[in-house]
Amino acid sequence: MLPGAAEGSKTTTRLMPGVTYTKEVRWVRGGPVVTHVIAGPKPGGLWALRPVLSGGTVLGREPLTSIQRSLSGRATIAGVNGDYFNTERGNPSGILLRDGVLDARPNSRRSSLGVAFDGTLHVRRLAYSGTWQVDGFRAHRLEEFNHVLLNPPGVGLFTPTWGGRTPERRSALDVVLAGLPPVMANGYQTARVVRFERGGGTNVPAGGAVLQALGSWRQVVRAEARAGRSLTIHAGLSPLWADVADAIGGGPVLVRRGRAIFRAREEFTSAQLVPRHPRTAVGQLATGRVILVAVDGRSGASYGLRTWELALEMMRLGAVTAMSFDGGGSTTLAFDRRVLNVPSDGAERPLADGLFLLFYGAYAPPPRHRVFSPNGDGVLDVQRLRARVVRRSHVRVSVLGPTGRVHWSHAGWTRPRTLVYDLAERRIADGRWRWVVESEDGAGRRSRMQRTFLVNKTLGHLRLGRRRVAARRPLDVSVVLTRPARLRVTIRRRSDDALVRVLKAGAARPGALRFHWNVRTARGRVVSPGGMRVSVRARNGLGTIGLQRSFLVVRAGRG
């Protein structure tokens, strides 16, 4: 626990197989702090931890849920915002490495997070050292890789992942390359020189790249990179990450080998590190489980944390390795296109990239209704059950009644898609039902997920005598109760849910029940015009079920 912290409320829910979400409210050093944690298995098998670029390009910017939406057909996704980024251009400040392909070079003055092939997380500073070389000439330094060259003279490379034209500069000389394979970190890829373009603003060709020279390097490039010649690109990273194919920038490092790092001495300002802000982090426990963490901030509900407090928080959560990401208004944690934390901007901020925990097994979203009441009154009559399959798999989906008896089942091979079953039978038994989804993909990897819902037909057929009422034209309310229950019938204002009148509160027997409201409060005052709502709740051994209908109170003579 952090110094000065007190225990508060804590809730944990299961999101998908092996993955949980915990929301915790605690008191930390004079103020409340709300922490959101998604915990998942060590990457491998049906689970993967991957960095993702917004829009698939370095210059792209999208809210986290939009990035998830674009990938929802491939996996079920939980994730957080990623690296710091240039707010004008959108490019991340550090490394972005996917499947060994370099999309953006690292920032050697900040930490990078790498995901090893065995699912282990590594946090270290990486240096970039690129070269370009025309056949028959010596190698030259490649100053930048998918980043604007800020301090000419020099040469930079822009690949199709850049996502736009090269920077426009009057003194720029662009060399258009064709036939360049994806640039692998620490690899050597060869392309063919096509032509020169002056002044920048060059479209980066698919399957190629653009080499941009500034200052005195223009003469070198013009002399060596003639059309038709072969040119080799090398994007070196050191120290060498031989077992890492995916990496993302961020920083500072928070926990190393189980110990909190309070002074990482990375390139961050005191304004970024010292004040209490919303914070985002990723960590790995000794068991290999991964945690994605978002701390709300900049509000009375949650003050946020300082960076050194975030390091202690990650240790409290059990992390033996941890790194921070961009915070403030960027701090976002989402699952299946739904934001779970409270972004301090009041809405999601468009981001450069994110770190996602992906699940490739079958996933069962929550049923349409937590409580389902198929009694023919047109309300809660149809329960929609879904199962999302993202890989070709053999799937079995089943609906099980309260006794465990199979009500409906289907099995067979299916392509990636969402299976849907609508349960609407009126004669099914009351009680707790289960929706069970099981799958096995072509590699023999199995998954199973279960959702529960309640069938409760205690209450139904809520009817109003009229939809517009006045002092001289009162309201009649009727409802059907199928078994004994504690019943509460109230009139509330729609605008603020304020209680206006209680029509019934207590035990009720089965049957058709009727209630009368004289359009007055409990003190006998005529209710002023406005939108109202009848709310009926019945509670018994099956649980609680509620119904409501809206109506309008109008001035006398207009009912």
List the domain boundaries for the chain.
10-119+247-359, 127-238, 371-455, 459-553
> Alpha-carbon distance 6 to 4, whole Å?
7
Contact 394, 412 (CB under 8 A): yes
Beta pairing partners, 256: 259
> Alpha-carbon distance 189 to 199, whole Å?
26
Tokens of 401: 């009644």
Look at the domain 127-238 and name its fold.
Jelly Rolls (2.60.120)
Beta strand spans in 101-216 (E)? 101-104, 111-116, 121-125, 127-134, 140-142, 144-145, 154-158, 173-178, 188-198, 208-214
Residue type (1 letter), 184? M
Buried b (16+ CB within 10 A) or exposed e, 201-233: ebebeeebbbbbbbeebbebbeebbeeeeebeb
Beta strand spans in 199-277 (E)? 208-214, 230-238, 244-249, 253-256, 259-260
- CA–chain centroid gap for 124, Å, is 25
Which CATH number is 371-455 given? Answer: 2.60.40.2550
> In CATH, what is the architecture of 459-553?
Sandwich (2.60)
Is 127-238's fold the same as 459-553's? no
Instruction: Indicate if the alpha-carbon torsion angle 59, 63, 64, 68 is positive or negative.
Output: negative
Q: For the sheet with 499-508, list strands across it.
A: 468-469, 543-553, 530-540, 485-493, 499-508
Beta pairing partners, 281: 293, 324
> Alpha-carbon distance 321 to 254, whole Å?
8
pTM: 0.92
E strand or H helix that includes residue 393: strand 393-400
Contact 495, 481 (CB under 8 A): no
Residue type (1 letter), 534? V
| 3-class secondary structure, 56 | helix
E strand or H helix that includes residue 546: strand 543-553
User: 132 burial class (0-12, 13-18, 19+ CB within 10 angstroms)?
Assistant: buried
> Alpha-carbon distance 529 to 554, whole Å?
5
What's the confidence (pLDDT) of residue 557?
60
E strand or H helix that includes residue 37: strand 31-40
Closest CA to 255 of 199, 315, 189, 190: 315
Q: In the chain, which residues have pLDDT < 50?
A: 1, 3-6, 559
- Cα pseudo-dihedral 280, 285, 288, 289, rounded to 10: -50
- Where are the alpha helices (H) located in 253-377, listed in sequence order? 270-273, 307-316
Contact 221, 183 (CB under 8 A): no
- Cα pseudo-dihedral 238, 243, 249, 255, rounded to 10: -100
What's the confidence (pLDDT) of residue 7?
56
